[in-house]
Amino acid sequence: MIRNQVEDLLSTVQDCQNGISMEIFLHLSLIPAMLIAAVLSFLQKRAQGLACDHKLPFLGGRFAIVVPLDTIGSLSNRWSYGFAFGAVSSSVLLLFSERYIPFIVPSWARAIVYLVGALEVGVVYFPFFACLSTPFRTTGAVLGILYSLSWIIVTVWDTFTCPDGMMLGKYQKLIIQWPCILSLIFLLGRFVYILVKAICIHLQVKQEDTEELNEHHQVQHVKRLLCKTSLHSKPLSWFQRRVYEWDPYFKFPNRIIGTVIVSLIGLYTMTLADYSLSDLTFDQVDKWKDTLKHLVISCNETEALGVLIPQLEEFIHVARKSWLATTILASLNSVAYCLHVLACYRKHLKRLWKGQKGFLPEKFHNPSSAVSVASIARYSGWQIAFTLWGYLIVHFVHFLFALLLVYGLILPIMHGRALSMLHNLGLIVLTMSLVIALVILQIVLVQIFFLQDKMSPTDKQKPLAINNRKAFHCFNYFFFFYNVVMGIGNCIMRLLNSIVVGTWLVSRLDRTIMQRGYETMDPGYATWIGMIFADHHHNNPVMVCFCQLLVSNTCERHAVSAYSTFSNVQSESLVNSRARRRWILFYTLLRNPHLILLRKRNLSSSSSDTVVQACVMASQSKSSLAESQSSPEIIVTPAED
């Protein structure tokens, strides 16, 4: 039913004659989208030749694969890709239905319809991503401007000429489509900026950015690791301590940003559909209630149903208010989850950079390479679907808790039954307090009478050694029967806690809802682990900077233009390089005298003579180094022999 409401919100109103059918425009957009993809593919040359190149030499290796976006290593144009995903969001939600298909299909072919619809949406929105990622900036910008401008004109015209809808009434389309329109306008501005920048580079007004393996924030992260100062030299603010600590040297990839944007827009649309559906449902229930009330009055059955009708009216009123309140709470909860996923992604990834895997189950310490790479493709779609379904499940759980709160606390007070409510509540609290007190009593008795004393006054707790064994056996025997009775209630509480926590966290992939040892049965959590491991192996700042150094060094040796991120040492003469090696050897032996014993010239001598020689050399070296540092006239450099 929610799916039907989403369809009604996203679809056009059939009675409006001035609007444009967005479903038909979506189908017609396949033609320009495929033409743009063909143009960009023609401009790009293949890195490796194919057999057809010999038969068609005039192509020159053209018609290469056009990559819409790099979901692994690229961190440029992150927000542009995010808004491109925002433009796709309305069509992604439309994939949950078959209404955009212009013909009727049998029920058994729904899976094929979903596949065809997903491929169609991917092709239609392909130019937005391809024009951002293509190396031919001028052509991509011009094509992107034309394509995005056509989508803006059609969407705005359809929104403002036919704004009304059956669900939200006046200005329904404007309420639903404004995130998509805003995303399209941002993309248009981005393409204009890319075109202006390309023209400036062509006119040599501005220099083209050099392509490097690493980003600036990755270099700064590595420099911070090599710095000896404290990590937090400045005191943290209250927001950084309690809510979120910003890391300027960490950037989220475009895949994560796009996923969060589509999830937030999907939540916005789902919340509106939920609100409109609940409003219509409760209005229909009110009509049925009035019909039933008139029927009871006409049949003179007021005595039999005189109590049921007021209770039914009260329940409908409470349910309507509770559902509206929990709609807001569930929406805020889902939005907080989307933002919390970003924090967990950064936290988990930084732990993996440090080599810490203790926060993961042991079975996930070394995931399969194929599973990790496939998780990158699965994560975004699964996270969006889990977020939307999680909103509905969490909303229903909140609604049940709201009804329990109203009927257990608020209504008794409003009806003058506060004393009976307090009496019942007191009995429940007293029973739970006695159970908890007896559990604590067992721990206190063991702590006082059945554990040996501390071995040292500085120990935080007593050792795990039993004292007064006979008394402990009697204690264990008599509490055995009570613990059997208490275990029944704890068993029920354990089941309820598991259900509540599991449903509350169903939309979060960064936490498993399975018990320990059964984490592999949670496909969402396995996808999360595989994704962060793939990002860890491909985007580790230390590894990327190391590869940048290797590439820069190789390019310099082959007389190719070097990268400018790391300044490499120029080649020196043989004498200077020999002096440098001797200086480095001297400094290493000075800091590590035990390495003198492992030198080849000392292996043939006796051990006692070698030890004495090592000590003498270390002391002489330290004294000479101290004298050289204290004297301002002597400057020791690595180039001195």
- Are 165 and 71 within 8 A, CB to CB? no
Please state the rounded mean pLDDT for residues 52-72. Answer: 73
Please state the rounded mean pLDDT for residues 586-593. Answer: 81
- Give me the pLDDT at residue 483, please: 82
Please state the rounded mean pLDDT for residues 252-272. Answer: 89
- Are 296 and 309 within 8 A, CB to CB? yes
> Mind listing the pLDDT tens digit for each residue in 441-462?
888 888 888 888 888 888 888 8
User: Quick one: pLDDT band at residue 76, thresholds 50, 70, 90?
Assistant: confident
Backbone angles phi and psi of 169, in degrees to 5: 80, -135
- Give me the pLDDT at residue 52, please: 67
Mention every residue, 6+ apart, whose C-beta is less than 8 A from residue 267: 331, 334, 335, 338, 387, 388, 391
Mention every residue, 6+ apart, whose C-beta is less than 8 A from residue 129: 68, 69, 81, 84
127/131 Cα distance (integer angstroms): 6
577/579 Cα distance (integer angstroms): 5
Please state the rounded mean pLDDT for residues 237-255. Answer: 79
As given in the structure block, the two tokens for residue 178 are 């404004």
User: Quick one: pLDDT band at residue 149, thresholds 50, 70, 90?
Assistant: very high
Residue 524 has pLDDT above 60, yes or no: yes
- Give me the pLDDT at residue 615, please: 61
275/286 Cα distance (integer angstroms): 16
Residue 226 has pLDDT above 90, yes or no: no
Please state the rounded mean pLDDT for residues 585-613. Answer: 68
More confident residue, 6 or 634: 6
Q: How far is CA 397 from CA 93, 170, 285, 402, in A?
A: 24, 32, 22, 9
433/413 Cα distance (integer angstroms): 24
**Mapping DSSP to helix (H, G, I), strand (E, B) and coil, where does residue 451 land?**
strand
The length of the chain in residues reads 641
- Give me the pLDDT at residue 327, please: 92
Residue 277 has pLDDT above 70, yes or no: yes
- Are 110 and 44 within 8 A, CB to CB? no
**Mapping DSSP to helix (H, G, I), strand (E, B) and coil, where does residue 169 land?**
strand
- Give me the pLDDT at residue 147, please: 92
User: Quick one: pLDDT band at residue 101, thresholds 50, 70, 90?
Assistant: low
Please state the rounded mean pLDDT for residues 31-39. Answer: 91
- Give me the pLDDT at residue 395, please: 92
**Mapping DSSP to helix (H, G, I), strand (E, B) and coil, where does residue 165 land?**
strand
141/146 Cα distance (integer angstroms): 9
- Give me the pLDDT at residue 211, please: 64
Q: Whole-model pTM above 0.85?
A: no
Angle among Cα 315, 319, 325 to the nearest 5 degrees reads 150
Mention every residue, 6+ apart, whose C-beta is less than 8 A from residue 606: none
More confident residue, 360 or 113: 360
Packing angle of the helix pair 78-94, 126-133 (nearest 10 deg): 170
Q: Provide, rounded to the nearest whole percent, the portion of the chain with pLDDT above 70.
A: 77
As given in the structure block, the two tokens for residue 12 are 């056009």
Residue 13 has pLDDT above 50, yes or no: no
More confident residue, 39 or 90: 39
Please state the rounded mean pLDDT for residues 345-357. Answer: 89
Give residue 210's Cα distance to chain centre: 30
User: Among residues 487, 445, 484, which one has the least CA distance to residue 466?
Assistant: 445
User: Quick one: pLDDT band at residue 120, thresholds 50, 70, 90?
Assistant: confident
Residue 172 has pLDDT above 50, yes or no: yes
Tokens 């409908």 found at: 316
More confident residue, 230 or 110: 110
Tokens 């690791």 found at: 225
As given in the structure block, the two tokens for residue 239 are 């927001």
Residue 629 has pLDDT above 60, yes or no: no
Q: Provide, rounded to the nearest whole percent, the portion of the chain with pLDDT above 90.
A: 9
Residue 635 has pLDDT above 70, yes or no: no
CA atoms within 13 A on the CB side of 195: 15
- Give me the pLDDT at residue 563, please: 41
> Mind listing the pLDDT tens digit for each residue in 175-225?
888 888 899 999 999 999 999 988 888 887 777 766 666 677 788 888 888
Rounded-to-10 torsion of CA 617, 618, 624, 625: 140
Please state the rounded mean pLDDT for residues 81-101. Answer: 75
- Give me the pLDDT at residue 8, please: 56
| SS3 per residue for 453-504 | CCCCCCCCCCCCCECCHHHHHHHHHHHHHHHHHHHHHHHHHHHHHHHHHHHH
80/73 Cα distance (integer angstroms): 16
Residue 564 has pLDDT above 60, yes or no: no
Please state the rounded mean pLDDT for residues 122-128. Answer: 89
